[in-house]
């Protein structure tokens, strides 16, 4: 087994949605080697080969993988988090086992889908950006007709995590 | 001659027996009390080994790994699951998840958030019935139910005016699926059944029942107290919507553990509210499972032990365990049928039952027989109504009760033979 164990080391409520949790977990093994293969196979993954790190989502949860650590935000509870970690561990080990069949992708960015952008917006439909709702804002963001900075709530303290993710995703839009 | 210890035991027993005898049996059994007074003397000098045959109540012993896991948790971890941001609490949380995952493998449940931990199957059935049934609902159940199913239904009949249709099980036979189909009405909201009777061992035709329930879009609640861990249970294949299990019987875990699987989309109202470790700002119980139903500190030590037990079962294979049970059941049926004056209730075919046997020996009171088996032979069995009076009505033993013999995974043919020899000695005395 490539990645033998994942151990949650920190849990706290999500800043933007206190009903959900964010967490950190330690990886028993360095997964740097598998990241380009994950980048090649995981849909909508954001990979930074220099750092290195790789961000991916599982439904509404966002996960960032580092060589010996991962972070997750918007998990429902610890049971949910453990289930996602299990899925991730399987994904990593399966990808590693199949690496001879996969062409590694070292490219830095992947263009995100508008719905992916939408999932990380505050989704308050406050119209402060001038759009009728956040989905329209996400579509325009994707097409380059809107800018992230126009989402006022996103830059408040409560949405720090989402902001970081969206800023990272927005790099891939340029 | 009786030993001093035996004399003391018999004197104590007879004192209580007379009082009990008047109440239940109108003094009918005093002659038997005299008869078995000599039993221990007959056994004097013979080796008395402990043979535990009450696994339908609680399995014993447990796999070694269960003792070790509980000891390790209590000694070296000890923290509450989900109640701290430090490593040990998170480790405890991980162990609880591990058990959930193992149970998911055992029952083929993909999303283990839908497995709720409870204290036992009684709590699971109460949660399912009281959380799901509404005013005026119609429920179909069977005559072989344990009081853990029957009593909550009767309470709901009184408090929520639910209508209960009870499928008959004459002589302890399994329900007739065609009859079940005929009883399902447009207003039927639930079919609630035991998988196997804790009195007769009768296995219900769960696969057929599941097909019928799915066809009529009626959720199926199954009490697996006597089958989880000893009978392959796949919620998808058997089309089970609510699976209630206990940890301390066939699952080989400790007492105080159990659970309920709730199929996605079924609306169950929680019956308790309280701390969940997270989402503390919320004034109401969180909506997400399992937290919605797991208010209060979990029995982590028990759950950890249950995890080790389920791991043991998965390693052995439930199919293999069932084969072992069937072989032991077939042998027990053969042996018991050779005992003169013995009445055996329920199916006579190992395929149609689990390893739970209700018997009576001539007109000896069940309590008396159980007492002699224990005192003189070291064989532990249960006597009485086994918390299932409806089942006893089916087999005609509601006034008298039965002796229940229930071997488990760790019992052997030799132990069944020892029981058979003991019963023959008792009846020939």
> Which residue does chain A place closest to B98, by CA atoms?
A82
CB atoms within 10 A of CB B187: 9
Number of domains in chain A: 2
- Report how far Cα A28 is from the mean position of its chain's Cα atoms: 21
Cross-chain residue pair B94–A79, CB shorter than 8 Å: no
pLDDT of residue A89: 98
pLDDT of residue B388: 84
d(CA B302, CA B96): 10
Same domain, A94 and A119: no
Among A101, A131, A154, which residue terminates a domain? A101
Domain CATH code at residue A86: 3.30.310.10
Among A46, A80, A101, which residue terminates a domain? A101
d(CA A79, CA A56): 19
Q: Which of B97, B288, B291 sits opposite A82 (nearest CB)?
A: B97
pLDDT tens for B33-43 read 444 444 554 55
Cross-chain residue pair A78–B282, CB shorter than 8 Å: no
> Which residue does chain A place closest to B276, by CA atoms?
A77
Same domain, A134 and A78: no
Same domain, A10 and A92: yes
Please name the residue that has the structure tokens 């993909």.
B110
Does residue A109 fall inside a structural domain?
no
Q: Are B242 and B220 in contact (CB under 8 A)?
A: yes
**Domain ranges (residues) in chain B:** 4-46+318-428, 64-316
Encode chain B (429 residues) as per-residue pLDDT tens digits.
334 444 454 455 555 544 443 333 333 333 444 444 445 545 556 666 799 999 999 999 999 999 999 999 999 999 988 777 789 999 999 999 999 999 999 999 999 999 999 999 999 999 999 999 999 999 999 999 999 999 999 999 999 999 999 999 988 899 999 999 999 999 999 999 999 999 999 999 999 999 999 999 999 999 999 999 999 999 999 999 999 999 999 999 999 999 999 999 999 999 988 887 777 777 788 889 999 999 999 999 999 999 999 999 999 999 999 999 999 999 999 999 999 999 999 999 999 999 999 999 999 999 999 999 999 999 999 998 888 888 888 888 888 999 999 999 999 999 999 999 999 999 987
Query: Of B7, B197, B237, which is closest to residue B107 (Cα–Cα)?
Result: B237
pLDDT of residue B105: 98
Half-sphere exposure in the Cβ direction for A74 (13 Å, CA): 19
Same domain, A10 and A61: yes
User: Who's near A88: CB < 8 A, 6+ residues apart?
Assistant: A6, A58, A63, A65, A70
d(CA B125, CA B123): 6
Does residue A40 fall inside a structural domain?
yes
Residue to substitute from B96, B264, B288, interface A, most A β-carbons within 10 A: B288
Locate A77 and state its tokens.
């509870």
Locate B290 and state its tokens.
């399992």
CB atoms within 10 A of CB B58: 17
Counting as low any pLDDT under 70, the low residues of chain A are 109-110, 174
Same domain, A23 and A56: yes
Cross-chain residue pair A18–B279, CB shorter than 8 Å: yes
Same domain, A70 and A127: no
Chain A interface with B: residues with Cβ < 8 Å: 7-13, 18-19, 21, 76-80, 82-83, 86
Locate A48 and state its tokens.
């930074």
Catalytic annotation present for B394: no
pLDDT of residue B398: 85
Domain holding A11, by residue range, is 6-101
Cross-chain residue pair A79–B91, CB shorter than 8 Å: no
Same domain, A14 and A91: yes
> Which residue does chain A place closest to B101, by CA atoms?
A83
Same domain, A90 and A146: no
Cross-chain residue pair B112–A83, CB shorter than 8 Å: yes
pLDDT of residue B203: 97
Domain B64-316 belongs in CATH node 3.40.640.10: yes
Does residue A108 fall inside a structural domain?
no
Locate A172 and state its tokens.
């891939």
Same domain, A56 and A137: no
Catalytic residue among B213, B337, B387, B394: B387
Q: What residues of chain B lie within 8 A of the CB of A83, using their CB?
A: 97, 111-113
Residue to substitute from B83, B112, B279, B285, interface A, most A β-carbons within 10 A: B279
pLDDT of residue B91: 94
Exposure string of B101-130, with b = 16+ CB inside 10 Å and e = fewer, is bbbbebbebeebbbbbbbbbbbbbbbbbbb
Q: What angle do CA B10, B12, B18 make, to 5 degrees?
A: 90
Query: Of B257, B299, B271, B276, which is closest to residue B119 (Cα–Cα)?
Result: B257
pLDDT of residue A116: 87
Same domain, A60 and A143: no
Cross-chain residue pair B277–A78, CB shorter than 8 Å: yes
Q: Which of A19, A78, A83 sits opposite B82 (nearest CB)?
A: A78
DSSP A2: -
What ipTM does this complex have? 0.81
Q: What residues of chain A lie within 8 A of the CB of B87, using their CB?
A: 7, 9
User: Domain B4-46+318-428, what fold?
Assistant: 3.90.1150
pLDDT tens for A149-164 read 999 999 988 888 889 8
d(CA A36, CA B333): 63
Exposure string of B256-289, with b = 16+ CB inside 10 Å and e = fewer, is bbbbbbbbeeeebebeeeeebbbbeeeeebbebb
Domain CATH code at residue A134: 1.10.15.40
Cross-chain residue pair A19–B279, CB shorter than 8 Å: yes
């Amino acid at each position: 087994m490539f990645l033998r164990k994942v151990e949650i080391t920190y849990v706290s409520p999500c800043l933007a949605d206190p009903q959900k949790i964010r967490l950190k977990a330690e990886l028993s093994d360095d997964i740097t080697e598998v990241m380009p293969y994950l980048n090649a196979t995981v849909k909508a993954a954001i990979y930074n080969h220099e750092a290195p790190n790789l961000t991916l989502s599982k439904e509404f949860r966002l996960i960032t993988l580092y060589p010996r650590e991962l972070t997750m935000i918007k998990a429902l509870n610890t049971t949910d988090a453990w289930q996602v970690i299990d899925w991730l561990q399987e994904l990593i080990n399966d990808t590693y086992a199949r690496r001879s069949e996969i062409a590694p992708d070292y490219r830095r960015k992947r263009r995100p889908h508008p719905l992916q952008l939408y999932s990380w917006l505050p989704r308050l439909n406050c119209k402060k950006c001038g759009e009728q709702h956040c989905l329209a804002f996400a579509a325009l963001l994707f097409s380059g007709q809107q800018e992230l900075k126009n989402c006022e709530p996103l830059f408040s303290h409560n949405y720090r995590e989402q902001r970081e993710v969206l800023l990272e995703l927005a790099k891939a839009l340029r | 001659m009786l030993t001093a210890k035996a004399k003391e035991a018999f004197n104590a027993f007879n004192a209580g027996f007379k009082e009990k005898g008047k109440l239940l049996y109108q003094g009918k059994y005093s002659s038997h009390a005299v008869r078995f007074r000599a039993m221990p003397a007959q056994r004097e000098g013979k080796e008395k080994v402990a043979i535990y045959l009450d696994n339908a109540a609680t399995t014993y012993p447990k796999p070694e790994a269960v003792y070790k896991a509980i000891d390790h948790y209590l000694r070296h971890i000890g923290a509450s699951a989900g109640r701290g941001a430090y490593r040990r609490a998170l480790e405890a949380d991980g162990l609880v998840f591990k058990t959930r995952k193992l149970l998911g493998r055992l029952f083929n449940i993909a999303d283990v958030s839908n497995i709720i931990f409870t204290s036992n199957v009684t709590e699971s059935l109460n949660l399912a019935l009281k959380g799901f049934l509404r005013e005026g609902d119609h429920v179909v159940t069977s005559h072989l139910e344990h009081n853990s199913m029957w009593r909550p239904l009767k309470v709901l009949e009184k408090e929520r005016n639910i209508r209960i249709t009870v499928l008959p099980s004459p002589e302890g036979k399994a329900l007739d699926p065609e009859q079940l189909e005929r009883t399902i009405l447009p207003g039927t909201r639930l079919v609630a059944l035991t998988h196997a009777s804790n009195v007769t061992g009768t296995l219900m035709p769960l696969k057929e029942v599941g097909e019928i329930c799915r066809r009529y879009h009626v959720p199926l609640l199954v009490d697996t107290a006597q089958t989880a861990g000893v009978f392959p249970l796949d919620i998808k294949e058997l089309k089970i919507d609510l699976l209630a299990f206990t940890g301390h019987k066939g699952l080989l875990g400790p007492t105080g553990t159990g659970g309920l699987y709730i199929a996605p989309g079924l609306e169950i109202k929680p019956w308790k509210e309280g701390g969940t470790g997270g989402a503390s700002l919320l004034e109401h119980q969180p909506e997400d499972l399992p937290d919605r139903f797991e208010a209060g500190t979990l029995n982590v030590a028990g759950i950890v032990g249950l995890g080790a037990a389920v791991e043991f079962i998965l390693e052995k294979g439930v199919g293999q365990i069932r084969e072992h049970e069937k072989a032991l059941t077939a042998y027990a049926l053969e042996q018991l049928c050779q005992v003169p004056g013995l009445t055996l209730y329920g199916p006579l075919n190992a395929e149609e039952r689990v390893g739970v046997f209700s018997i009576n020996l001539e007109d000896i009171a069940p309590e008396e027989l159980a007492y002699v088996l224990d005192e003189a032979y070291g064989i532990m069995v249960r006597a009485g109504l086994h918390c299932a009076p409806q089942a006893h009505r089916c087999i005609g033993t509601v006034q008298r009760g039965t002796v229940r013999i229930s071997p488990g995974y760790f019992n052997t043919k030799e132990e069944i033979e020892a029981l058979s020899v003991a019963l023959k000695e008792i009846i020939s005395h």
